[in-house]
Structures are given as C-alpha cells and as structure tokens.
C-alpha cells in the first residue's frame, strides 16, 4: 500500500532519499516515470500520479526517465562518474 499521494508529492519535491524505491512518480504530460529522488524538474502536482513498482508504471504506459533510470536499481545518475578503471 502506498502512502498518501500528498505525502509522496512532498517527498518528490524534497527529493527525500527515505522514499527511494517505495514509489515512483508518473508524469502524465511527458509519459515518463521517475524515482522520487530524480534530479529532473518536478512536474505540477495535477500531472503526477504514483505507482508502487516499475512494472505498474510500465503497465500504465509510462517509460523510464533517462536521468534517474528507475528501471535499473543500481545504475548511476546521468553526469556522475562511474569509471571502473583504476
């Protein structure tokens, strides 16, 4: 069961890491879903809904964000260094 949508939206605005993986934000105007910690600009409240899993987001017709990669649990964010060479 998801927390209240207003609580989730507040977590999205704050990019609260305590909500990481508990829910995903689906933006109707773009067709994209994100982690609640995504660095992208936050959409207007009336355009955002929340789903409990990546599978639910995809089933609802949303595609994953290319900044926060919500469908890949451990993938680094865009712009972060991920060099494996030493």
pLDDT digits (tens, 9 = 90+) for 18-59: 999 899 999 999 999 999 999 999 999 999 999 999 999 999
Task: For residue 50, give its domain range.
Answer: 5-64
Which position among 34, 38, 65, 68 bears the catalytic label?
34
- Strand 32-35 with 63-64, pairing: parallel
Whole-number Cα distances in Å, 45 to 28, 73, 78, 79: 10, 25, 24, 27
- Give yes or no: 26 in active site: no
H helix or E strand, kind and range, residue 12 = helix 5-14
In a domain, 42, yes or no: yes
Please enumerate in sequence order all residues whose Cβ is within 8 A of that of 74, keeping only pairs 6 or more positions apart, or say none: none
CATH number at residue 56: 3.40.10.10
Which of 27, 25, 26 has the alpha carbon at shortest distance from 12? 25
pLDDT digits (tens, 9 = 90+) for 3-20: 999 999 999 999 999 999
Instruction: Please give the structure tokens belonging to residue 42.
Output: 């936050």
In a domain, 72, yes or no: no
- In this prediction the pTM is 0.81
Confidence of residue 1 (pLDDT cuts 50, 70, 90): confident
Number of structural domains, the chain?
1
């Amino acid at each position: 069961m998801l927390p209240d949508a207003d609580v989730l939206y507040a977590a999205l605005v704050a990019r609260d890491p305590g909500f990481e993986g508990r829910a995903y934000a689906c933006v109707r105007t773009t067709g994209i879903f994100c982690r609640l910690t995504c660095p992208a600009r936050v959409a207007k409240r009336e355009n955002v809904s929340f789903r409990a899993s990546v599978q639910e987001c995809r089933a609802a017709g949303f595609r994953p964000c290319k900044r926060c990669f919500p469908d890949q649990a451990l993938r680094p964010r865009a712009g972060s260094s991920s060099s494996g060479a030493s």
